[in-house]
Structure 1
Protein backbone atom coordinates (compact mmCIF):
# COMPACT_ATOMS: atom_id res chain seq x y z
CA UNK A 1 0.00 0.00 0.00
CA UNK A 2 1.41 3.42 -0.98
CA UNK A 3 0.23 5.32 2.09
CA UNK A 4 -0.68 3.34 5.14
CA UNK A 5 -4.07 4.12 6.68
CA UNK A 6 -3.87 5.91 10.00
CA UNK A 7 -7.22 5.42 11.71
CA UNK A 8 -9.33 2.32 12.17
CA UNK A 9 -11.90 3.81 9.78
CA UNK A 10 -9.25 4.30 7.08
CA UNK A 11 -8.10 0.72 7.58
CA UNK A 12 -11.69 -0.44 7.17
CA UNK A 13 -12.08 1.39 3.86
CA UNK A 14 -8.72 0.02 2.70
CA UNK A 15 -9.76 -3.52 3.64
CA UNK A 16 -13.06 -3.30 1.78
CA UNK A 17 -11.23 -2.29 -1.40
CA UNK A 18 -8.63 -5.02 -0.84
CA UNK A 19 -11.34 -7.67 -0.41
CA UNK A 20 -12.76 -6.66 -3.79
CA UNK A 21 -9.34 -6.67 -5.50
CA UNK A 22 -8.49 -10.10 -4.13
CA UNK A 23 -12.00 -11.45 -4.84
CA UNK A 24 -12.28 -12.79 -1.31
CA UNK A 25 -14.96 -15.41 -0.72
CA UNK A 26 -17.36 -14.61 2.10
CA UNK A 27 -20.01 -16.53 3.99
CA UNK A 28 -18.00 -18.36 6.63
CA UNK A 29 -18.13 -15.51 9.16
CA UNK A 30 -19.97 -12.62 7.48
CA UNK A 31 -21.67 -12.01 4.15
CA UNK A 32 -20.17 -8.55 3.54
CA UNK A 33 -16.58 -7.39 3.30
CA UNK A 34 -17.37 -4.45 5.56
CA UNK A 35 -18.64 -6.65 8.38
CA UNK A 36 -15.85 -9.22 8.19
CA UNK A 37 -13.09 -6.60 7.90
CA UNK A 38 -14.47 -4.62 10.84
CA UNK A 39 -14.65 -7.82 12.89
CA UNK A 40 -11.01 -8.64 12.12
CA UNK A 41 -9.89 -5.11 12.91
CA UNK A 42 -11.63 -5.06 16.28
CA UNK A 43 -10.28 -8.47 17.20
CA UNK A 44 -6.74 -7.63 16.04
CA UNK A 45 -6.80 -4.48 18.18
CA UNK A 46 -8.42 -6.28 21.11
CA UNK A 47 -11.39 -3.92 21.09
CA UNK A 48 -14.97 -4.91 22.01
CA UNK A 49 -17.13 -6.10 19.12
CA UNK A 50 -19.82 -3.75 20.47
CA UNK A 51 -17.56 -0.70 20.15
CA UNK A 52 -19.39 2.54 19.24
CA UNK A 53 -18.95 4.13 15.78
CA UNK A 54 -16.52 6.66 17.28
CA UNK A 55 -13.95 3.85 17.48
CA UNK A 56 -13.36 4.35 13.74
CA UNK A 57 -11.57 7.63 14.56
CA UNK A 58 -8.98 5.85 16.69
CA UNK A 59 -5.40 6.14 15.38
CA UNK A 60 -3.32 2.98 15.34
CA UNK A 61 0.15 2.77 16.81
CA UNK A 62 2.97 1.40 14.67
CA UNK A 63 2.74 -1.93 16.48
CA UNK A 64 -1.01 -2.10 15.94
CA UNK A 65 -0.61 -1.28 12.26
CA UNK A 66 1.88 -4.14 11.88
CA UNK A 67 -0.52 -6.50 13.62
CA UNK A 68 -3.41 -5.48 11.35
CA UNK A 69 -1.21 -5.75 8.25
CA UNK A 70 -0.30 -9.33 9.12
CA UNK A 71 -3.91 -10.31 9.80
CA UNK A 72 -5.06 -9.03 6.42
CA UNK A 73 -2.03 -10.53 4.66
CA UNK A 74 -3.06 -13.97 5.90
CA UNK A 75 -6.72 -13.35 5.07
CA UNK A 76 -6.16 -11.90 1.59
CA UNK A 77 -3.05 -13.71 0.34
CA UNK A 78 -3.15 -17.02 2.18
CA UNK A 79 -6.97 -17.13 2.10
CA UNK A 80 -7.18 -18.18 5.76
CA UNK A 81 -10.82 -17.89 6.89
CA UNK A 82 -11.43 -15.15 9.43
CA UNK A 83 -12.66 -17.60 12.07
CA UNK A 84 -9.39 -19.53 11.91
CA UNK A 85 -7.47 -16.28 12.38
CA UNK A 86 -9.43 -15.34 15.50
CA UNK A 87 -10.03 -18.90 16.73
CA UNK A 88 -13.70 -18.20 17.35
CA UNK A 89 -17.15 -18.29 15.81
CA UNK A 90 -20.56 -17.19 16.99
CA UNK A 91 -24.05 -18.63 16.74
CA UNK A 92 -26.28 -15.95 18.16
CA UNK A 93 -25.03 -15.01 21.62
CA UNK A 94 -22.96 -18.18 21.94
CA UNK A 95 -19.22 -18.07 21.26
CA UNK A 96 -17.32 -21.19 20.23
CA UNK A 97 -13.65 -22.02 19.85
CA UNK A 98 -12.77 -23.15 16.32
CA UNK A 99 -9.63 -24.04 14.40
CA UNK A 100 -8.69 -25.97 11.27
CA UNK A 101 -9.88 -29.26 12.81
CA UNK A 102 -13.54 -28.28 12.43
CA UNK A 103 -15.88 -26.68 9.94
CA UNK A 104 -16.73 -23.08 10.83
CA UNK A 105 -20.20 -22.96 12.46
CA UNK A 106 -22.88 -21.45 10.25
CA UNK A 107 -26.30 -23.00 10.50
CA UNK A 108 -29.96 -22.23 10.02
CA UNK A 109 -30.64 -24.19 13.18
CA UNK A 110 -29.92 -21.05 15.19
CA UNK A 111 -32.94 -19.43 13.52
CA UNK A 112 -35.15 -22.53 13.44
CA UNK A 113 -34.48 -24.31 16.73
CA UNK A 114 -37.28 -22.61 18.70
CA UNK A 115 -39.82 -23.67 16.05
CA UNK A 116 -38.34 -27.18 15.96
CA UNK A 117 -38.65 -27.37 19.74
CA UNK A 118 -42.34 -26.49 19.51
CA UNK A 119 -42.85 -29.25 16.95
CA UNK A 120 -41.11 -31.85 19.11
CA UNK A 121 -42.72 -30.87 22.39
CA UNK A 122 -46.18 -30.37 20.91
CA UNK A 123 -46.21 -33.83 19.37
CA UNK A 124 -45.16 -35.64 22.52
CA UNK A 125 -48.20 -35.86 24.75
CA UNK A 126 -48.13 -38.09 27.79
CA UNK A 127 -50.23 -41.19 27.47
CA UNK A 128 -53.67 -40.34 28.83
CA UNK A 129 -53.03 -36.60 28.85
CA UNK A 130 -55.10 -34.08 26.92
CA UNK A 131 -54.32 -33.81 23.24
CA UNK A 132 -51.58 -31.28 22.57
CA UNK A 133 -50.28 -31.29 26.13
CA UNK A 134 -46.61 -32.09 25.72
CA UNK A 135 -43.78 -32.85 28.11
CA UNK A 136 -40.12 -31.90 28.28
CA UNK A 137 -37.87 -33.47 25.68
CA UNK A 138 -35.70 -36.11 27.37
CA UNK A 139 -33.06 -37.12 24.82
CA UNK A 140 -31.69 -35.49 21.68
CA UNK A 141 -28.67 -36.04 19.45
CA UNK A 142 -26.53 -33.94 17.13
CA UNK A 143 -25.06 -36.14 14.39
CA UNK A 144 -21.86 -34.83 12.73
CA UNK A 145 -21.35 -32.38 15.57
CA UNK A 146 -18.01 -30.89 14.47
CA UNK A 147 -17.18 -28.14 16.96
CA UNK A 148 -20.09 -29.21 19.16
CA UNK A 149 -21.93 -25.94 18.56
CA UNK A 150 -25.30 -27.49 17.73
CA UNK A 151 -25.07 -29.88 20.66
CA UNK A 152 -24.57 -26.84 22.89
CA UNK A 153 -27.57 -25.08 21.32
CA UNK A 154 -29.66 -28.22 21.88
CA UNK A 155 -28.63 -28.35 25.53
CA UNK A 156 -29.69 -24.74 26.02
CA UNK A 157 -32.96 -25.24 24.13
CA UNK A 158 -33.88 -28.41 26.04
CA UNK A 159 -32.64 -27.85 29.59
CA UNK A 160 -34.03 -31.15 30.88
CA UNK A 161 -32.67 -33.30 28.06
CA UNK A 162 -29.64 -35.52 27.76
CA UNK A 163 -27.68 -34.58 24.65
CA UNK A 164 -25.52 -36.91 22.56
CA UNK A 165 -23.04 -35.50 20.04
CA UNK A 166 -21.52 -37.72 17.35
CA UNK A 167 -18.61 -37.25 14.97
CA UNK A 168 -16.28 -39.49 12.98
CA UNK A 169 -13.29 -37.16 13.44
CA UNK A 170 -11.31 -37.50 16.69
CA UNK A 171 -9.81 -34.07 15.99
CA UNK A 172 -13.24 -32.48 15.76
CA UNK A 173 -14.35 -34.20 18.94
CA UNK A 174 -11.38 -32.69 20.79
CA UNK A 175 -12.65 -29.24 19.80
CA UNK A 176 -16.21 -30.21 20.72
CA UNK A 177 -15.05 -31.42 24.14
CA UNK A 178 -13.45 -28.03 24.79
CA UNK A 179 -16.58 -26.14 23.73
CA UNK A 180 -18.90 -28.34 25.78
CA UNK A 181 -16.71 -27.79 28.84
CA UNK A 182 -16.48 -24.04 28.21
CA UNK A 183 -20.28 -23.87 28.20
CA UNK A 184 -20.39 -25.88 31.46
CA UNK A 185 -22.37 -28.69 29.84
CA UNK A 186 -20.04 -31.66 30.30
CA UNK A 187 -22.53 -33.37 32.62
CA UNK A 188 -25.33 -33.21 30.05
CA UNK A 189 -23.60 -33.52 26.67
CA UNK A 190 -21.97 -36.85 25.87
CA UNK A 191 -19.56 -37.10 22.94
CA UNK A 192 -19.31 -40.21 20.76
CA UNK A 193 -16.62 -41.14 18.23
CA UNK A 194 -18.70 -42.90 15.61
CA UNK A 195 -19.65 -43.12 11.93
CA UNK A 196 -23.25 -41.91 12.36
CA UNK A 197 -24.75 -44.35 14.93
CA UNK A 198 -22.39 -47.31 14.34
CA UNK A 199 -20.61 -47.06 17.71
CA UNK A 200 -23.29 -45.27 19.73
CA UNK A 201 -25.09 -47.23 22.47
CA UNK A 202 -28.72 -47.92 21.70
CA UNK A 203 -31.03 -45.08 22.72
CA UNK A 204 -34.39 -43.66 21.71
CA UNK A 205 -34.35 -40.01 20.77
CA UNK A 206 -37.07 -37.40 20.73
CA UNK A 207 -35.04 -35.43 18.19
CA UNK A 208 -32.25 -36.38 15.81
CA UNK A 209 -30.68 -33.24 14.39
CA UNK A 210 -27.87 -33.03 11.84
CA UNK A 211 -26.05 -30.63 9.57
CA UNK A 212 -24.13 -33.41 7.79
CA UNK A 213 -21.56 -33.30 4.97
CA UNK A 214 -23.66 -32.78 1.86
CA UNK A 215 -21.41 -31.31 -0.85
CA UNK A 216 -21.20 -33.70 -3.82
CA UNK A 217 -17.59 -34.83 -4.21
CA UNK A 218 -17.23 -33.41 -7.72
CA UNK A 219 -18.26 -29.96 -6.46
CA UNK A 220 -15.50 -29.80 -3.85
CA UNK A 221 -12.99 -28.90 -6.56
CA UNK A 222 -15.00 -25.79 -7.40
CA UNK A 223 -15.21 -24.39 -3.89
CA UNK A 224 -13.50 -21.06 -3.14
CA UNK A 225 -10.06 -21.50 -1.60
CA UNK A 226 -11.28 -20.32 1.81
CA UNK A 227 -13.74 -23.20 1.99
CA UNK A 228 -11.10 -25.76 1.03
CA UNK A 229 -9.29 -24.82 4.26
CA UNK A 230 -12.08 -26.55 6.16
CA UNK A 231 -11.87 -30.31 6.81
CA UNK A 232 -12.87 -32.28 3.74
CA UNK A 233 -14.52 -34.87 5.96
CA UNK A 234 -16.97 -32.22 7.14
CA UNK A 235 -17.97 -31.25 3.59
CA UNK A 236 -17.79 -34.34 1.34
CA UNK A 237 -21.21 -35.97 1.02
CA UNK A 238 -20.16 -38.53 -1.60
CA UNK A 239 -21.06 -38.85 -5.25
CA UNK A 240 -24.44 -37.14 -5.01
CA UNK A 241 -24.05 -35.53 -1.59
CA UNK A 242 -26.45 -37.99 0.04
CA UNK A 243 -24.12 -40.72 1.36
CA UNK A 244 -24.19 -39.71 5.03
CA UNK A 245 -27.83 -38.65 4.84
CA UNK A 246 -28.90 -42.09 3.54
CA UNK A 247 -27.05 -43.84 6.34
CA UNK A 248 -28.40 -41.48 8.97
CA UNK A 249 -32.00 -41.94 7.83
CA UNK A 250 -31.71 -45.71 7.72
CA UNK A 251 -30.22 -45.92 11.19
CA UNK A 252 -32.67 -43.35 12.58
CA UNK A 253 -35.52 -45.81 12.01
CA UNK A 254 -34.49 -47.71 15.14
CA UNK A 255 -33.40 -44.66 17.13
CA UNK A 256 -36.52 -42.51 17.32
CA UNK A 257 -39.31 -42.32 19.82
CA UNK A 258 -42.70 -43.01 18.16
CA UNK A 259 -43.43 -39.28 17.97
CA UNK A 260 -39.82 -38.24 17.37
CA UNK A 261 -38.39 -36.17 14.54
CA UNK A 262 -35.34 -36.12 12.30
CA UNK A 263 -34.31 -32.62 11.22
CA UNK A 264 -31.63 -32.17 8.57
CA UNK A 265 -29.90 -29.15 7.06
CA UNK A 266 -28.94 -30.07 3.49
CA UNK A 267 -27.75 -26.94 1.69
CA UNK A 268 -28.55 -27.06 -2.02
CA UNK A 269 -29.86 -30.63 -1.99
CA UNK A 270 -33.57 -29.90 -1.54
CA UNK A 271 -34.51 -31.11 -5.02
CA UNK A 272 -32.30 -34.20 -4.64
CA UNK A 273 -33.88 -34.98 -1.26
CA UNK A 274 -37.41 -34.70 -2.63
CA UNK A 275 -36.48 -36.92 -5.58
CA UNK A 276 -34.68 -39.61 -3.58
CA UNK A 277 -36.97 -39.79 -0.55
CA UNK A 278 -40.54 -39.17 -1.79
CA UNK A 279 -42.00 -41.66 0.73
CA UNK A 280 -40.69 -39.68 3.71
CA UNK A 281 -43.02 -36.71 3.35
CA UNK A 282 -40.27 -34.15 3.79
CA UNK A 283 -41.52 -30.94 5.40
CA UNK A 284 -39.33 -27.95 4.56
CA UNK A 285 -38.99 -25.17 7.10
CA UNK A 286 -39.03 -21.56 5.90
CA UNK A 287 -36.00 -19.39 6.65
CA UNK A 288 -35.79 -15.61 6.57
CA UNK A 289 -33.50 -15.58 3.54
CA UNK A 290 -35.71 -18.02 1.60
CA UNK A 291 -33.11 -20.79 1.34
CA UNK A 292 -35.53 -23.24 3.03
CA UNK A 293 -32.92 -25.98 3.20
CA UNK A 294 -33.92 -27.64 6.49
CA UNK A 295 -36.35 -30.55 6.41
CA UNK A 296 -38.33 -32.39 9.07
CA UNK A 297 -39.15 -36.12 8.93
CA UNK A 298 -41.58 -37.84 11.28
CA UNK A 299 -40.72 -41.16 12.95
CA UNK A 300 -43.81 -42.83 11.51
CA UNK A 301 -42.70 -42.08 7.98
CA UNK A 302 -39.29 -43.60 8.62
CA UNK A 303 -40.71 -46.80 10.16
CA UNK A 304 -42.71 -47.46 6.99
CA UNK A 305 -39.86 -46.45 4.67
CA UNK A 306 -38.57 -49.29 2.48
CA UNK A 307 -35.12 -47.66 2.35
Structure 2
Protein backbone atom coordinates (compact mmCIF):
# COMPACT_ATOMS: atom_id res chain seq x y z
CA UNK A 1 0.00 0.00 0.00
CA UNK A 2 1.16 3.50 -0.81
CA UNK A 3 1.06 6.51 1.48
CA UNK A 4 -1.18 9.55 1.12
CA UNK A 5 1.73 11.80 0.11
CA UNK A 6 3.09 9.30 -2.45
CA UNK A 7 -0.27 8.97 -4.19
CA UNK A 8 -0.76 12.74 -4.28
CA UNK A 9 2.72 13.22 -5.78
CA UNK A 10 2.22 10.47 -8.37
CA UNK A 11 -1.29 11.64 -9.21
CA UNK A 12 -0.21 15.25 -9.76
CA UNK A 13 2.16 14.09 -12.52
CA UNK A 14 -0.87 12.94 -14.53
CA UNK A 15 -2.55 16.32 -14.46
CA UNK A 16 -2.11 19.35 -16.68
CA UNK A 17 -4.26 21.61 -14.51
CA UNK A 18 -2.92 24.81 -12.97
CA UNK A 19 -2.79 23.31 -9.47
CA UNK A 20 -2.28 19.56 -9.93
CA UNK A 21 -1.11 18.89 -6.38
CA UNK A 22 -4.07 20.74 -4.89
CA UNK A 23 -6.47 18.86 -7.19
CA UNK A 24 -5.03 15.54 -5.99
CA UNK A 25 -5.31 16.66 -2.36
CA UNK A 26 -8.99 17.49 -2.89
CA UNK A 27 -9.58 14.11 -4.53
CA UNK A 28 -7.79 12.35 -1.65
CA UNK A 29 -9.90 14.24 0.89
CA UNK A 30 -13.01 13.09 -0.94
CA UNK A 31 -11.82 9.47 -1.20
CA UNK A 32 -10.91 9.25 2.49
CA UNK A 33 -13.79 11.42 3.69
CA UNK A 34 -11.51 13.72 5.69
CA UNK A 35 -10.58 17.40 6.00
CA UNK A 36 -7.44 18.90 4.45
CA UNK A 37 -5.83 19.15 7.88
CA UNK A 38 -5.98 15.35 8.14
CA UNK A 39 -4.12 15.01 4.84
CA UNK A 40 -1.39 17.34 6.06
CA UNK A 41 -1.04 15.80 9.52
CA UNK A 42 -1.22 12.18 8.35
CA UNK A 43 0.54 12.33 4.99
CA UNK A 44 2.60 9.21 5.82
CA UNK A 45 -0.47 7.04 6.46
CA UNK A 46 -1.04 4.16 4.06
CA UNK A 47 -4.12 4.22 1.84
CA UNK A 48 -6.23 1.02 1.70
CA UNK A 49 -6.21 -0.71 -1.68
CA UNK A 50 -9.87 -0.01 -2.48
CA UNK A 51 -9.39 3.68 -1.65
CA UNK A 52 -6.29 3.81 -3.85
CA UNK A 53 -8.27 2.39 -6.77
CA UNK A 54 -10.93 5.07 -6.31
CA UNK A 55 -8.24 7.78 -6.05
CA UNK A 56 -6.79 6.73 -9.41
CA UNK A 57 -10.21 6.47 -11.04
CA UNK A 58 -11.08 10.05 -10.02
CA UNK A 59 -7.62 11.41 -10.80
CA UNK A 60 -7.89 10.02 -14.33
CA UNK A 61 -11.22 11.84 -14.70
CA UNK A 62 -9.47 15.05 -13.70
CA UNK A 63 -6.79 14.29 -16.30
CA UNK A 64 -9.64 14.20 -18.84
CA UNK A 65 -10.37 17.80 -17.75
CA UNK A 66 -13.56 17.16 -15.83
CA UNK A 67 -14.05 19.99 -13.32
CA UNK A 68 -12.83 19.02 -9.85
CA UNK A 69 -16.22 19.98 -8.37
CA UNK A 70 -18.02 17.51 -10.65
CA UNK A 71 -15.58 14.80 -9.62
CA UNK A 72 -16.01 15.26 -5.87
CA UNK A 73 -19.63 16.44 -6.08
CA UNK A 74 -19.39 19.74 -4.25
CA UNK A 75 -18.10 23.31 -4.50
CA UNK A 76 -17.70 26.13 -1.98
CA UNK A 77 -19.48 29.43 -2.61
CA UNK A 78 -19.89 32.32 -0.16
CA UNK A 79 -18.24 30.10 2.50
CA UNK A 80 -20.92 27.44 2.02
CA UNK A 81 -20.76 23.98 0.52
CA UNK A 82 -23.01 23.19 -2.46
CA UNK A 83 -23.85 19.92 -4.18
CA UNK A 84 -22.63 20.02 -7.79
CA UNK A 85 -22.86 17.63 -10.73
CA UNK A 86 -22.63 17.67 -14.52
CA UNK A 87 -26.13 19.16 -14.84
CA UNK A 88 -25.36 22.51 -13.20
CA UNK A 89 -22.98 25.40 -13.73
CA UNK A 90 -20.06 25.32 -11.33
CA UNK A 91 -20.45 28.12 -8.73
CA UNK A 92 -17.63 30.60 -9.28
CA UNK A 93 -16.04 33.20 -6.99
CA UNK A 94 -16.81 35.94 -9.56
CA UNK A 95 -20.52 35.39 -8.96
CA UNK A 96 -20.09 36.32 -5.30
CA UNK A 97 -20.16 39.91 -6.59
CA UNK A 98 -23.94 39.48 -6.79
CA UNK A 99 -24.15 38.69 -3.07
CA UNK A 100 -21.90 41.58 -2.04
CA UNK A 101 -23.97 43.93 -4.21
CA UNK A 102 -27.19 42.74 -2.57
CA UNK A 103 -25.64 43.55 0.82
CA UNK A 104 -24.73 47.01 -0.46
CA UNK A 105 -28.25 47.81 -1.66
CA UNK A 106 -30.01 46.17 1.29
CA UNK A 107 -27.85 46.92 4.37
CA UNK A 108 -30.69 46.12 6.80
CA UNK A 109 -30.35 42.36 7.29
CA UNK A 110 -33.65 42.26 9.21
CA UNK A 111 -35.52 43.34 6.08
CA UNK A 112 -38.33 41.03 4.95
CA UNK A 113 -37.25 40.72 1.35
CA UNK A 114 -39.11 38.79 -1.30
CA UNK A 115 -36.56 37.44 -3.78
CA UNK A 116 -36.62 35.72 -7.17
CA UNK A 117 -33.66 33.92 -8.73
CA UNK A 118 -33.80 33.37 -12.50
CA UNK A 119 -31.98 30.27 -13.75
CA UNK A 120 -31.12 29.14 -10.26
CA UNK A 121 -28.81 26.21 -11.14
CA UNK A 122 -27.33 24.92 -7.88
CA UNK A 123 -29.33 27.52 -5.96
CA UNK A 124 -26.10 29.03 -4.64
CA UNK A 125 -27.17 32.64 -5.24
CA UNK A 126 -30.62 32.38 -3.66
CA UNK A 127 -29.39 30.28 -0.73
CA UNK A 128 -26.45 32.61 -0.05
CA UNK A 129 -28.68 35.70 -0.04
CA UNK A 130 -31.25 34.02 2.22
CA UNK A 131 -28.47 33.07 4.64
CA UNK A 132 -27.74 36.79 5.08
CA UNK A 133 -31.37 37.86 5.59
CA UNK A 134 -33.11 35.70 8.17
CA UNK A 135 -36.58 37.13 7.43
CA UNK A 136 -36.32 36.93 3.64
CA UNK A 137 -38.08 34.40 1.43
CA UNK A 138 -37.32 33.46 -2.13
CA UNK A 139 -38.19 31.41 -5.17
CA UNK A 140 -35.93 30.05 -7.86
CA UNK A 141 -36.80 29.26 -11.47
CA UNK A 142 -34.87 26.46 -13.18
CA UNK A 143 -36.21 24.94 -16.40
CA UNK A 144 -33.66 22.11 -16.49
CA UNK A 145 -35.27 19.26 -14.55
CA UNK A 146 -31.87 17.80 -13.58
CA UNK A 147 -30.58 21.17 -12.36
CA UNK A 148 -33.87 21.72 -10.51
CA UNK A 149 -33.23 18.49 -8.58
CA UNK A 150 -29.77 19.73 -7.55
CA UNK A 151 -31.16 23.07 -6.36
CA UNK A 152 -33.81 21.31 -4.27
CA UNK A 153 -31.13 19.15 -2.64
CA UNK A 154 -29.11 22.25 -1.79
CA UNK A 155 -32.16 23.94 -0.28
CA UNK A 156 -32.57 20.91 1.98
CA UNK A 157 -28.85 20.75 2.73
CA UNK A 158 -28.88 24.34 3.98
CA UNK A 159 -32.10 23.89 5.97
CA UNK A 160 -34.09 26.45 3.98
CA UNK A 161 -37.21 24.61 2.74
CA UNK A 162 -39.42 26.94 4.79
CA UNK A 163 -38.01 30.03 3.08
CA UNK A 164 -36.94 28.87 -0.38
CA UNK A 165 -38.99 27.20 -3.09
CA UNK A 166 -37.63 26.04 -6.44
CA UNK A 167 -39.87 25.76 -9.50
CA UNK A 168 -39.00 23.53 -12.48
CA UNK A 169 -40.03 26.33 -14.84
CA UNK A 170 -38.60 29.07 -17.03
CA UNK A 171 -38.26 32.54 -15.53
CA UNK A 172 -40.88 33.55 -18.12
CA UNK A 173 -43.39 31.94 -15.73
CA UNK A 174 -42.56 34.41 -12.97
CA UNK A 175 -45.60 36.04 -11.37
CA UNK A 176 -46.03 38.51 -8.53
CA UNK A 177 -43.86 41.38 -7.27
CA UNK A 178 -40.37 41.10 -5.78
CA UNK A 179 -38.06 43.37 -3.82
CA UNK A 180 -35.03 41.76 -5.38
CA UNK A 181 -34.41 39.75 -8.54
CA UNK A 182 -31.03 38.09 -9.05
CA UNK A 183 -29.68 36.04 -11.93
CA UNK A 184 -26.54 34.64 -13.49
CA UNK A 185 -27.99 33.89 -16.93
CA UNK A 186 -26.13 32.28 -19.83
CA UNK A 187 -24.15 35.09 -21.48
CA UNK A 188 -21.38 33.62 -23.64
CA UNK A 189 -21.73 34.17 -27.39
CA UNK A 190 -22.31 30.74 -28.91
CA UNK A 191 -19.48 31.35 -31.37
CA UNK A 192 -17.07 31.52 -28.43
CA UNK A 193 -18.14 28.29 -26.74
CA UNK A 194 -15.61 26.23 -28.65
CA UNK A 195 -12.79 28.40 -27.29
CA UNK A 196 -13.66 27.88 -23.62
CA UNK A 197 -11.42 25.89 -21.30
CA UNK A 198 -11.91 22.13 -21.56
CA UNK A 199 -13.32 22.04 -18.00
CA UNK A 200 -15.95 24.68 -18.82
CA UNK A 201 -16.97 22.83 -21.99
CA UNK A 202 -17.96 19.88 -19.80
CA UNK A 203 -20.55 22.03 -18.04
CA UNK A 204 -24.15 22.16 -19.35
CA UNK A 205 -24.25 24.13 -22.60
CA UNK A 206 -27.67 25.61 -21.80
CA UNK A 207 -26.12 27.32 -18.75
CA UNK A 208 -23.45 28.95 -20.92
CA UNK A 209 -24.95 29.72 -24.34
CA UNK A 210 -26.13 33.32 -24.55
CA UNK A 211 -27.05 33.18 -28.21
CA UNK A 212 -25.39 34.80 -31.21
CA UNK A 213 -24.72 38.13 -29.48
CA UNK A 214 -24.66 36.99 -25.84
CA UNK A 215 -27.78 39.05 -25.10
CA UNK A 216 -30.56 36.53 -25.68
CA UNK A 217 -31.33 35.83 -22.02
CA UNK A 218 -31.18 39.48 -20.95
CA UNK A 219 -33.66 40.45 -23.64
CA UNK A 220 -36.06 37.87 -22.21
CA UNK A 221 -35.40 38.92 -18.61
CA UNK A 222 -35.90 42.70 -19.00
CA UNK A 223 -39.66 42.52 -19.79
CA UNK A 224 -40.13 40.31 -16.73
CA UNK A 225 -38.28 42.81 -14.56
CA UNK A 226 -40.68 45.49 -15.75
CA UNK A 227 -43.60 43.28 -14.73
CA UNK A 228 -42.29 41.65 -11.52
CA UNK A 229 -39.90 44.12 -9.88
CA UNK A 230 -41.39 46.35 -7.18
CA UNK A 231 -41.24 50.10 -7.72
CA UNK A 232 -38.49 50.41 -5.10
CA UNK A 233 -36.84 47.10 -5.94
CA UNK A 234 -33.58 46.21 -7.67
CA UNK A 235 -32.44 43.53 -10.08
CA UNK A 236 -28.80 42.44 -9.91
CA UNK A 237 -27.65 40.42 -12.91
CA UNK A 238 -24.26 38.93 -13.65
CA UNK A 239 -22.76 39.90 -17.00
CA UNK A 240 -19.69 39.01 -19.07
CA UNK A 241 -17.39 40.86 -21.43
CA UNK A 242 -19.98 40.79 -24.23
CA UNK A 243 -22.49 42.75 -22.14
CA UNK A 244 -20.21 45.69 -21.25
CA UNK A 245 -22.56 48.17 -22.99
CA UNK A 246 -25.84 46.56 -22.06
CA UNK A 247 -26.91 49.67 -20.11
CA UNK A 248 -27.64 51.36 -23.46
CA UNK A 249 -30.59 49.07 -24.23
CA UNK A 250 -32.18 49.12 -20.77
CA UNK A 251 -34.18 52.38 -21.28
CA UNK A 252 -36.00 50.79 -24.24
CA UNK A 253 -37.62 48.43 -21.69
CA UNK A 254 -38.66 51.38 -19.50
CA UNK A 255 -36.16 50.29 -16.86
CA UNK A 256 -33.42 52.33 -15.24
CA UNK A 257 -29.71 51.56 -15.20
CA UNK A 258 -28.22 52.03 -11.72
CA UNK A 259 -24.59 50.98 -12.05
CA UNK A 260 -22.08 48.38 -13.10
CA UNK A 261 -20.30 46.45 -10.35
CA UNK A 262 -16.71 45.41 -11.03
CA UNK A 263 -15.04 42.24 -9.80
CA UNK A 264 -11.61 41.99 -8.18
CA UNK A 265 -9.98 41.86 -11.62
CA UNK A 266 -11.57 45.20 -12.54
CA UNK A 267 -14.03 43.63 -15.02
CA UNK A 268 -17.68 44.61 -15.18
CA UNK A 269 -19.33 41.67 -13.41
CA UNK A 270 -22.88 42.79 -12.51
CA UNK A 271 -25.42 45.27 -13.67
CA UNK A 272 -27.98 46.80 -11.29
CA UNK A 273 -31.38 47.70 -12.73
CA UNK A 274 -34.46 49.35 -11.24
CA UNK A 275 -37.92 50.45 -12.34
CA UNK A 276 -37.20 54.17 -12.56
CA UNK A 277 -34.34 56.65 -12.53
CA UNK A 278 -35.94 58.49 -9.61
CA UNK A 279 -35.07 55.66 -7.22
CA UNK A 280 -31.36 55.88 -7.98
CA UNK A 281 -29.37 55.87 -4.77
CA UNK A 282 -25.72 56.73 -4.24
CA UNK A 283 -24.06 54.10 -2.12
CA UNK A 284 -20.46 54.27 -0.96
**Shorter-chain TM-score: which interval?**
0.7 to 0.9
Closer, same or farther: CA 301–40 of 1 in aligned 2, 3 Å? farther
Matched residue, 1:215? 188
- TM-score normalized by the length of structure 1: 0.80
Closer, same or farther: CA 286–271 of 1 in aligned 2, 3 Å? closer
Aligned: 1:120 with 2:136:
no
- TM-score normalized by the length of structure 2: 0.86
Closer, same or farther: CA 194–67 of 1 in aligned 2, 3 Å? closer
1:74 to 61, 64, 81: 61
Matched residue, 1:13? 9
Aligned: 1:148 with 2:123:
yes
Aligned: 1:90 with 2:63:
no
Contact 1:120 1:206 in 2 (8 A): no
C-alpha distance in structure 2 between counterparts of 1:173 and 1:18, whole Å: 34
Closer, same or farther: CA 117–8 of 1 in aligned 2, 3 Å? same
Calculate the aligned-residue CA RMSD, in Å: 2.7
Closer, same or farther: CA 276–200 of 1 in aligned 2, 3 Å? closer
| Stretches of 4+ aligned residues off by more than 6 angstroms | none
C-alpha distance in structure 1 between counterparts of 2:271 and 2:191, whole Å: 24
1:186 to 143, 149, 161: 161
Matched residue, 1:204? 177
Closer, same or farther: CA 50–291 of 1 in aligned 2, 3 Å? farther
2:220 to 227, 247, 255: 247
Matched residue, 2:272? 296
**Count of residue pairs the alignment pairs up:** 276
Deviations 1:153-201 (A, max 9, x none): 12112211120101121221111111112222112112223322x2223
Contact 1:193 1:199 in 2 (8 A): no
1:273 to 246, 249, 258: 246
Q: Which runs of 5+ in 1 are unaligned?
A: 27-31, 123-133
Shift of 1:234: 0.9
Closer, same or farther: CA 218–154 of 1 in aligned 2, 3 Å? same
Closer, same or farther: CA 281–111 of 1 in aligned 2, 3 Å? closer
Contact 1:12 1:37 in 2 (8 A): yes
Matched residue, 2:282? none
The 5 Å alignment of 1:51-70 reads 51=38, 53-70=40-57
Shift of 1:206: 1.2
